Amino acid sequence: MRQSIPYLSLLIFAGIACTQPKETTEVPKADTTATKFAHAPLVKHIYTADPSAHVFEGKIFIYPSHDIESDVAQDDMGSHFDMKDYHVFSMESPGGTVTDHGVALKLEDVPWAGRQLWAPDAAEKDGKYYLYFPAKDKQDIFKIGVAVSDRPEGPFTAEPEPIAGTFSMDPSAFQDGAEYYLLWGGIWGGQLQWYEDQKLVEGRKGPTDGIPAPDQKALMPYIAKLSDSMTELAERPKEVLILDESGEPIKAGDTNRRFFEAAWMHKYNGKYYLSYSTGDTHFIAYAIGDNPYGPFTYQGNVLEPVEGWTNHHSIVEFEGKWYLFYHDTELSGDTPLRNIKMAELTHLPDGKIQTINPMK
């Protein structure tokens, strides 16, 4: 996600035409002498963030947010993150050329949405591609929508209504065999704190109204199995519990470990890995469980803090190796204008993940 912090801003530029020529970026090797960053930006001609990566048709496809400068006033709910479109990128192999396939979906083509297309994700089933995305509806409440295409790069056609039963933001899709799941949620600008028992509490406003006390259970992400159509939930969403080493839910005041946003799931050696951003402490943390519904036990960090306030990621396997996709602000030095990156990820023999440092 792009969070609700006063000095952040994120926009997606709606004025880029769908007929825009494809842009390509040669991915340079990180220069160990000229930069403090451990990994090179994947895209340089536009600003990108929140990369969700998948392997489709033998390539890596990346579904990020699209940052541009904003005239919208900054506030604690992230109003200045006024994104208006999505681009899709692909690469034949790690280190190869990155292709920008242009605008895949625009805000004006989503009938129910009012503003703010935040971090998306995608899935494939039976030759159809599904783009899951959050947006605020006409009442300024985040919902999650879905758009469909015959191609992984789009363009995508949005369903006329958001997915019933969804709320908050940061959707991510997880396939486990023949089953597909949708995860989502985020606090502060993501509005998760405005809900109780999955119902919006009237009158709650702002980033902290509804946040539990520090000694209470933290707010957790949600998960639900997707229906065969991939455009509806097949069940009532369930809270995904993240536990500490004693088997107790992580507390709201444990800001180095508690869930903030950007839930992502992958499976390795029969175990399920739930990774997520801790938001205001800037880690990508992870927890391990025995099934997609959890509970998950906290293990440590996948990624140390990056340059820039936000931290949002995805993890994907490609040709027998695992990769982390993330963003920082190397190109701009400014949190609202980010760039996506990738790094090889290592699962250690004990099942833990070797923590990645984005800096040298």
The catalytic residues are: 50, 261
Q: What angle do CA 356, 306, 279 make, to 5 degrees?
A: 105
**Cis preceding-peptide flag for 120 (omega within 30 of 0):** no
Shortest CA distance to 327 belongs to which of 251, 262, 236?
Answer: 262
**CB-based contact 193:211 (threshold 8 Å):** yes
121 closest CA partner among 178, 62, 162: 62
Give dist(CA 305, CA 328) in Å, integer: 9
- DSSP, res 248: P
27-64: buried (b, 16+ CB within 10 Å) or exposed (e) per residue? beeeeeeeeebebbbbbbebbbbbbbbbeeeebbbbbb
* Residue 301 near residue 314, CB atoms below 8 Å: no
* β-pair type (128-137, 238-239): unpaired
* Distance of alpha carbon 143 from alpha carbon 163, whole angstroms: 7
